[in-house]
Amino acid sequence: MAAPRNRLKAQLAQGEMQIGLWLGFGSATAAEISAQAGFDWCLIDAEHNPNADAMVLAQLQAMNGAGVEAVMRVASAEDWMLKRALDLGVQSVLVPMIDTGEQAAAMVRASRYPPAGTRGMGAIQARATGYGAVSDYPTTANDQICLMVQAESRRSIENIDDIAGTEGVDVVFIGPADLSADMGYPGQPDAPEVVAAIEHAAARVRAAGKALGTITFDPARIPYYRDLGVRFLGVGGDVFCFAQAARSLSAHARAALVDE
């Protein structure tokens, strides 16, 4: 039995737009609801949200069978973090703060079994193999890993050709928030200088034949990113959606109680 086919990787390779939601609650219930909401993928964020391994496992189990692809953003570009994410059964991983082609290549090696990489051979008791049921996993897993790397600094934009040209990288994800801050425009991803840097990077990623990714919390920006060539597009987050809905409900309820 081979490793499961990674539909997200296959569809991105065909140039299909894939939209998804960031998961920050660390809640299996929120993950289950999100997985059934019609997105192509849901991303468990272990960089900026409290998603420890046991919480990630619970969310993956909650999403199982919903038809949505599970993605995980690890906390940093560390070999052991990729190993643990992959052994949990995640086939698509997003690695933050990649500034050079050398760093991207190191993450490729960390996500592949030998001889193509350095991933440890301990999955026989892991969820990735169905706890030993997927007998051919070690020889078939490499082809199903979708490696996404984040370019989110001035240095990464300077090295975008090297990053995008790294064999084994499937998606180059432009992080607008960190990039704008590093460029001296914190909280201003729409500053002209930042937009120019993003559009330059997008063109180079497309020229390298790699899928382009990013995220927006503004639905009005979705057509812009589509036209820019983005194919892995985050369109919001569970915490953000809940916070907006809760505040809106409170405001409407209080307004309805005001005597006319």
Catalytic residues, by residue number, are 48
Among the listed residues 44, 35, 88, 91, the one whose alpha carbon sits nearest the alpha carbon of residue 63? 35
Separation CA 36–CA 147 (nearest Å)? 24
69 φ, ψ to 5°?
Answer: -85, 135
Which are the contacts of 61, defined by CB distance < 8 A and separation ≥ 6?
Answer: 28
Separation CA 217–CA 179 (nearest Å)? 16
Among the listed residues 234, 226, 209, the one whose alpha carbon sits nearest the alpha carbon of residue 150? 234
- The two most distant CA atoms of the chain are separated, in Å, by 74
- Asked if 201 and 190 touch (Cβ cutoff 8 Å), the reply is no
